[in-house]
Amino acid sequence: MQGEAIDQHTGGLRALLSSPMLFDFMQNLVGADGLRKTYVREYVRPVPGARILDIGCGTAAILDYLPQEVEYEGYDLSARYIEHARKKYGPRGRFFCERVSGLSLREPHRFDIVLASGVLHHLNDDEAGDLFKVAALGLRPSGVLITHDNVYVEGQSRMARYLISKDRGSHVRTPAQYEALARSVFSHAETATRHDLLRIPYTHFFMRCSLQRDGLQHLAPGGGPEGEAGV
């Protein structure tokens, strides 16, 4: 669900995904519409007026599922994706073709929600640790960071594991590995594993992270018979 990132496979057919139109087309072909609806409804849970920072926003397609009244800032390293987002969404957000960092944040502790959608599996551990630090710097004390990534779990279908292995990201992890990265910065993290969000066999891992426990609400238990949630 994200745009070009630091460490990813870009050869062969994967190179086609650098095109914003083809990227969105392929995402929607496998069921990204349903994934995004579930992601926003059950995990992001934005309210009108919320300030949202989207790290690795890609084409910013998540805006189609957010309330019109949110204040949105998206960062991505792909100039083509950012240009596409600016043309499509115009004044609905501010879009930056740069790596978000503590220096690039216009104001610390400003955002209610930070999103990192499909980003962590493109980052090595040091880079992922930096992302969590930037997210913590950008969030208000009661704010939340929400992530989702593909994941390797015991008992997942062979087809799901095979498809995940072909992802552009080079750092697909287990749930415990993702959560350990989050807890190196955030004191509280809720997690959920889902196998039911695309038209193809696939497994997603969600985290909702906060520096304060009162910033969290329990994740929706909508994962089906194989869904998991924990604190």
Per residue, what are the HEC states of the chain? CCCCCCCECCCHHHHHHHCHHHHHHHHHHCCHHHHHHHHHHHHHCCCCCCEEEEECCCCCHHHHHCCCCCEEEEECCCHHHHHHHHHHHHHHEEEECCCCCCCCCCCCCCEEEEEEECCHHHCCHHHHHHHHHHHHHHEEEEEEEEEEEEECCCCCCHHHHHHHHCCCECCCECHHHHHHHHHCCCCEEEEEEECCCCCCCCCEEEEEEECCHHHCCCCCCCCHHHCEEEC
pLDDT at 28 > cutoff 80: no
Say which CATH architecture domain 12-214 belongs to. 3-Layer(aba) Sandwich (3.40)
Give me the mean pLDDT over the 51-64 stretch. 97
Give me the amino acid identity at 122: H
Listed by start position, the domains of the chain span: 12-214
Residues 53, 59, 60, 62: is their CA dihedral positive or negative? Answer: negative
pLDDT at 180 > cutoff 60: yes
Give me the mean pLDDT over the 32-60 stretch. 96
Residue 89 structure tokens: 């969404």
pLDDT at 203 > cutoff 90: yes
Give me the mean pLDDT over the 158-175 stretch. 96
The residues that bridge with 55 in the sheet, in sequence order, are 75
pLDDT at 3 > cutoff 50: no
In this predicted model, which residue has the larger pLDDT, 135 or 19? 135
The size of the chain, in residues, is 231
Give me the mean pLDDT over the 209-214 stretch. 82
Band (23; pLDDT cuts 50, 70, 90): low
- Condensed to tens digits (0 to 9), the pLDDT of residues 116-131 reads 999 999 999 999 999 9
Band (224; pLDDT cuts 50, 70, 90): very low
Beta strands 139-150; 188-194: pairing state: unpaired
Give me the mean pLDDT over the 173-192 stretch. 97
